[in-house]
Structure 1
Amino acid sequence: MADVAASDKIRCDACPVMCYIKPGAAGACDRYANHDGRLVRVDPHIVLSRALEHGGRVVPFQASGDWDGKIVHQGDIFVTAIGAGTTYPDYKPAPFIVSSAIDGVDMVTVVTEGIFSYCGVKVKIDTDRYLGPETAAVRAQGEVVGHVTTSEYGSQMLSLGGVHHLTGGSKKEGRVTCDTLMDLSNCKPVELTIDGGATVVVQAGQAPVVNGVQEERMRVGCGSATIGMFAKQWHGKVDEVVVVDDHITGVLSEHQAGKLLDIADTGIKMKGRRSTPGRYFQVAEPGTGWGGTRISDPLSVLGPFDPKEARPGLTMLMVSTTGEHAAYYVLDEALRPIEQEMPAELKFSVERIQENCEPALCTVLFMAGAGGSLRAGVTDNPVRLTRSVKDALTRVTSGGAPVYVWPGGGITFMVDVTQMPIGAFGYVPTPALVAPIEFTLRLSDYAALGGHMDYVRPLSSLRDSAEIRPMLFTSGRRP
C-alpha cells in the first residue's frame, strides 16, 4: 500500500493524489493515516448484522454453526465495502474477497470502495411547489452543481453532479460539487438555489424546505385527476368545482366525470388553453401559490360567467391539488362570484384531498458507473464481470443496499442512500466520491470469470480483526 519516504512520512497510494502523510496525521481525504509508520484505514470496515423482519433472508451470508458471536450476536451478516479500502492503482485485487456457505452453496462477496469521478445524484422532491424552470442551473454556495430536469407526477426532479461539474469546471466548482454530493449521499441537509426559481433545502428522507417554508404534502393528482377522484363526493353539494393546477386545471361541470353524474353546465369561463372537456393547460404561470401557480387569488383564472347558463345563487368550490388552498363562492345578481363561508360538507371534502396527499419528501439516489479499473479488482478480465452482472449471475449491492443496474454497457447503478448505513460515502480531493460496492456470486462462477481466487478468505477470518466494526441494521431503515 505504501512506501516509506523521508522524515518518516508515508506515501499513500489509495487514490491518485498520492499524499505524503506525517506520523500521527491523516491524508487529504481523512480516510487513511500514518500510525506508527504504518498506513491504516481511519474508519473501520463495516459488517452488517441484519434484523430478520417481515420474513425471509435479506442478505446472502450467514454465520456458520461454530461462529462465536464476536462480531455479531445473531441474524444474518453481510460484509460491506464501507471502510474496506480501494483497489487503486487498480492492478490490486479487491481489499476483501470473502467466502461463505448459504444453504449449502459456496458463495463469495467481493467488496471495494470505488473512487467515482463519474457519479452524481438524482433528487426527487415530492411537492406541489414550483422550484424552477426545466434545465435551469442548480447552485450550491454559488457554484453550478447540476440542473433541473423533467418534473414527474407531483415531484420536482434535479440532476446533480457528474464528471463535468466535478472535473470540467473551476477548482471551486469541483470541490463544491464533491461536497454537495457527499453531504446529500450521507443524508445531510444541503441548501440549493435554482436560477429563476426557489431556494430549497434538500435532505434525503426529510421534507423539503422551499424558500424557508417546510413543505407538508405532494399533490393528490393533477386537477383533472382530482375531479375524477372526488366528483361523487361533490355531487349534490356544490354546483361547480375548479381544481387549480399549474399543469392541468380541472372543471367539474365540463369534465367527463361531471357529465356522467348529470352535473349541469354552469357557464363558467376559464383562462388558459382547453385540452379535452374539463381539462385546461396554462391557466397561470408556475409558482409557489395555488396549485403550484403564481396566483394568490383563484378568481384570476376565471373569465366572466356566461349569462345564458349561469344564474344568481350558483355555488362554486375552488381548491388546489393539495387542499392547501380552498375557497367557496356564490354568484350574486350580477353573476360575480362572492366568497362565502365554506359549508361543513365541503370542508370535509377539502380535508379528504389533504388526507390523500402523501407527505412531502426528498429522495436521493446516488448514481455511478463502475469502470474498468474497479472491475479489475474483481477479475483479471473485467468484461467478464460486466457480463456476469447482465446475466444475473452476480448481484451488485452498495453498502449492503440493493441497487438498480441500468441496461446497456458498463455497470451503471443507482442506490437509495437512505437504505445504506450512516457515513457510507467519502471523498478524495481529485475530486471524486468514494462509495461502497459489493459483488456477490457463486464461488464456482467467480472462478469461471477469472476471479482472484488466491485472495479468497473465509468469513470466519474476519472475526478477530480490530479493524472490523459490526453494525445492527434493520432492513429498509437507517440505524
Structure 2
Amino acid sequence: MAEAPEKIRCDACPVMCYIAPGQTGACDRYANSNGRIVRTDPVVMLSHAVGAGGRIVPFAVRDWDGSPVPADAFVTGIGSGTTYPDYKPAPFIVSSQVDGADMVTVVTEAIFSYCGVKVKIDTDRFLGPEGAVVRVEGEPVGHVTTAEYGSQMLSLGGVHHLTGGSKAEGRVTCAAMLALCNGEPVEMDVEGGSRVVVQAGQAPVVDGVRERRMRVGCGSATIGMFAVQWKGLVDEVVVVDDHITGVVSEHQAGKVIGWEPTGIRIKGHRSTPGRYFRVSEPGQGWGGTRLTDPLEILGEWNPKKGARPGLRLLMVSTTGEEYAYYVLDEALRPEQKDLPENLKKTVQLIDENCETSLCTVLFMGGAGGSLRAGVAKNPVRLTRSVQGGITRLTSGGAETYVWPGGGITFMVDVTRLPKGAFGYVPTPALVAPLEFTLPRGAYLAMGGHEGSIRTLDQSMDEGGEYPTEARVEPWPEL
C-alpha cells in the first residue's frame, strides 16, 4: 500500500497549517508545491509604466526571466507574505536610490486582529439610532456611530467581534470586513433601523432604494445658500430636515434681505430664529424625517403676524428630491398647486449643488506587536520614526493617515489600493499590505536588519514578481 504524500508545515502565520502536496493552507495564500511552501499570490509592484502579471513563486527561489524593471517600480506588501510572529526579518527589505538618496523600503503583509473599518454613508435616510448594533447574516459586526454633515457613520469589526464572541461572529465579521476592504458589496441590518447595502465607492442602497444625492446642507444652511434665489418668487420657504428645519421669513438670511413675516408656525423645538430641531422623528421621508406629508409640521397660521389668503408657500427637502407648492385659501389653509416654472429652477439648483451619494470605507489597524520586530531589532524606534515623520507608512502603495499618540494606528481608503489587496487568516484576522520607507542611514540607526537588505534586482532575482498594471495616485513620494 502506497504511503500518503507527506504534509509539510507552513510557518507564515500562527495557524501553522500542515499542507498536503498540491493543496493550499487555510488562508489560500500559501501552498505545498512539490514539498516546498510557496506563495500563491504574486508580489505586486506598482509603476507608472504598464507591466505584466505574475504566477506562483517559491520563497527566495529564482523565478524571474530578467525582464527590465521600471526605474520607478515601488515594491508593495501585496502578495509579499508575512513573517508574523516576527522573530525573523520582514519578507522584503529593499534598497533603492531616490534622487541620489539611499532609501530602504520594508515590505510585509501584516496580520490584524486589532483592526476594523470605518464606513461613511452619504444619506439623510434613517439608518438607526446611535450605538445600534449592525448585523451581517444575523451576527453582530459593529455599531452605528455619529451622524456627520449629510452622512451616517458605522464602526465595524475590531478585536472583540473578531475574537471575543462566538466562532460564527468572528467568521462573519472577518468575511464582511474582507469584502468591504476589497470593494465588494455587503448587506447589513441595523437594529431598530434600516437594511443597507454598502460598497466602497458606490451609492448606498437603503431599504432597497439606491441613494442618489447627499444633502446640500441642513435646512438652515440651504436657506442661507438660496434665500436670494427665492426672494420675490414666493412668500415663504420651509426646508424640511431631520436635524435643522429652516424657515426663510424668520431666518437671519431672510431678515437681512428684507423678507416679510408670514405668520407661519412650525411644530418643533425652536433654536435660533428660523431654525427648528425635532420637527419629526427620523425616517425615510422628507429630509431624513418620517414625513410623507410636510404639512404635518405646520400649526395654525397667524393673521396678526402676516398670514393672508393667497400667500405662497414652498416646502422642499435638503436634496431637492421632495418639494411641494401651496397657496393659502380664505380660511388660511394651504392648498397644493402645481410648482411654477420660476420656482422649478430654484429646486433644481438645490439638486445641482448636492454631491453624489457614496459609501467610503477606511481600513483602520494598529501596526504594533511583533510586526515591528520584522522591521527593526528595537521595535519602539520604528514607532517613534513613523510618528516623527522619518518613516513613511503606506498600505499597498496608498497614502495612510497615522493617528497621533502611542503606537502605529493608521487608516487608509480602500479604493486607493489595487483590487484584491486584502486577505485573511482563519484565526480570524485580516491581512493588509504595509510598506515602511525611510533613509538607509535612519534605518540602520534604528537597528534595522542590515543583513536582509537587498536591491530591487536582487529581490526580483530571488523571488520577487513582475510589475502589474495597478496604479496608485498620487504616486507614493519617498
Tell me the TM-score normalised to structure 1 length. 0.93
* 1:20 shift after superposition: 0.5
Q: Alignment partner of 2:385: what SS?
A: helix
Cross-structure match for 1:420: 417
- The separation in 2 between residues aligned to 1:144 and 1:12, in whole angstroms, is 32
In the alignment, which of 9, 12, 17 is matched to residue 15 of structure 2?
Answer: 17
- The separation in 2 between residues aligned to 1:72 and 1:120, in whole angstroms, is 39
Pair 1:228-2:224 in alignment: yes
In the alignment, which of 425, 430, 435 is matched to residue 433 of structure 1?
Answer: 430
* Matched-pair contact (CA < 8 Å) for 1:192–1:199: yes
Query: Once the two structures are superposed, what CA deviation does each residue of 1:231-262 show, in whole Å capped at 9, x if it has no partner?
Result: 00000000000000000000000000000111
Map 1:392-403 onto structure 2 (within 5 A): 392-403=389-400
Question: What code does the residue aligned with 2:214 have?
Answer: M
Cross-structure match for 1:112: 108
Pair 1:304-2:319 in alignment: no
Question: What code does the residue aligned with 1:355 have?
Answer: E
* Matched-pair contact (CA < 8 Å) for 1:244–1:321: yes
Pair 1:277-2:273 in alignment: yes
Cross-structure match for 2:207: 211
* Matched-pair contact (CA < 8 Å) for 2:46–2:472: no
Pair 1:328-2:325 in alignment: yes
* Matched-pair contact (CA < 8 Å) for 1:119–1:367: yes
- The separation in 1 between residues aligned to 2:19 and 2:30, in whole angstroms, is 9
Query: Once the two structures are superposed, what CA deviation does each residue of 1:154-213 show, in whole Å capped at 9, x if it has no partner?
Result: 000000000000000000000000000000000000001100111000000000011111
CA-based RMSD of the aligned residues comes to 1.8
* 1:372 shift after superposition: 2.3
* Matched-pair contact (CA < 8 Å) for 1:51–1:473: no
- The separation in 2 between residues aligned to 1:310 and 1:259, in whole angstroms, is 17
Question: What code does the residue aligned with 1:449 have?
Answer: M
Structure 2 gaps, min length 5: 51-63
Are the structure 2 counterparts of residues 335 and 243 from structure 1 closer, same or farther at C-alpha, using a change threshold of 3 Å?
same
* 1:472 shift after superposition: 2.3
* 1:477 shift after superposition: 8.9
* 1:17 shift after superposition: 1.2
Cross-structure match for 1:461: 458
* Matched-pair contact (CA < 8 Å) for 2:133–2:144: yes
Question: What code does the residue aligned with 2:297 have?
Answer: V
* 1:18 shift after superposition: 1.2
Cross-structure match for 1:84: 80
In the alignment, which of 351, 362, 365 is matched to residue 365 of structure 1?
Answer: 362
Q: Alignment partner of 1:148: what SS?
A: strand
Question: What code does the residue aligned with 2:93 have?
Answer: I
Q: Alignment partner of 2:73: what SS?
A: strand
Question: What code does the residue aligned with 1:170 have?
Answer: S
- The separation in 1 between residues aligned to 2:109 and 2:68, in whole angstroms, is 22
Tell me the TM-score normalised to structure 2 length. 0.93
Cross-structure match for 1:95: 91
Cross-structure match for 2:194: 198
Map 1:115-126 onto structure 2 (within 5 A): 115-126=111-122
* Matched-pair contact (CA < 8 Å) for 2:241–2:317: yes
* 1:474 shift after superposition: 3.7
* 1:93 shift after superposition: 0.2
* 1:462 shift after superposition: 3.2
- The separation in 1 between residues aligned to 2:395 and 2:278, in whole angstroms, is 43
Pair 1:378-2:375 in alignment: yes
* Matched-pair contact (CA < 8 Å) for 2:123–2:215: yes
Q: Alignment partner of 1:50: what SS?
A: coil
- The separation in 2 between residues aligned to 1:287 and 1:51, in whole angstroms, is 49
* 1:401 shift after superposition: 0.2
- How many positions carry a matched residue from both structures? 459
- The separation in 1 between residues aligned to 2:68 and 2:291, in whole angstroms, is 57
- The separation in 2 between residues aligned to 1:74 and 1:35, in whole angstroms, is 30
Structure 1 gaps, min length 5: 1-5, 53-67
Percent identity, aligned pairs only?
Answer: 70
* Matched-pair contact (CA < 8 Å) for 2:417–2:472: no
Q: Alignment partner of 1:193: what SS?
A: strand
In the alignment, which of 176, 180, 184 is matched to residue 184 of structure 1?
Answer: 180
In the alignment, which of 287, 296, 299 is matched to residue 283 of structure 2?
Answer: 287
Q: Alignment partner of 1:76: what SS?
A: coil
- The separation in 1 between residues aligned to 2:364 and 2:376, in whole angstroms, is 23
- The separation in 2 between residues aligned to 1:127 and 1:51, in whole angstroms, is 39
Are the structure 2 counterparts of residues 220 and 401 from structure 1 closer, same or farther at C-alpha, using a change threshold of 3 Å?
same
Q: Alignment partner of 1:43: what SS?
A: coil
* Matched-pair contact (CA < 8 Å) for 1:330–1:340: yes
Question: What code does the residue aligned with 2:18 have?
Answer: Y
Query: Once the two structures are superposed, what CA deviation does each residue of 1:65-85 show, in whole Å capped at 9, x if it has no partner?
Result: xxx996677572210001111
- The separation in 2 between residues aligned to 1:312 and 1:465, in whole angstroms, is 86
Pair 1:450-2:447 in alignment: yes
Cross-structure match for 2:252: 256
- The separation in 1 between residues aligned to 2:281 and 2:147, in whole angstroms, is 15
* 1:391 shift after superposition: 1.3
* 1:13 shift after superposition: 1.2
- The separation in 1 between residues aligned to 2:318 and 2:71, in whole angstroms, is 45
Map 1:144-163 onto structure 2 (within 5 A): 144-163=140-159
Question: What code does the residue aligned with 2:236 have?
Answer: E
Q: Alignment partner of 2:90: what SS?
A: coil
* Matched-pair contact (CA < 8 Å) for 2:46–2:471: no
* Matched-pair contact (CA < 8 Å) for 1:418–1:477: no
- The separation in 2 between residues aligned to 1:11 and 1:73, in whole angstroms, is 33
Pair 1:471-2:468 in alignment: yes
Question: What code does the residue aligned with 2:98 have?
Answer: I
- The separation in 1 between residues aligned to 2:244 and 2:172, in whole angstroms, is 38
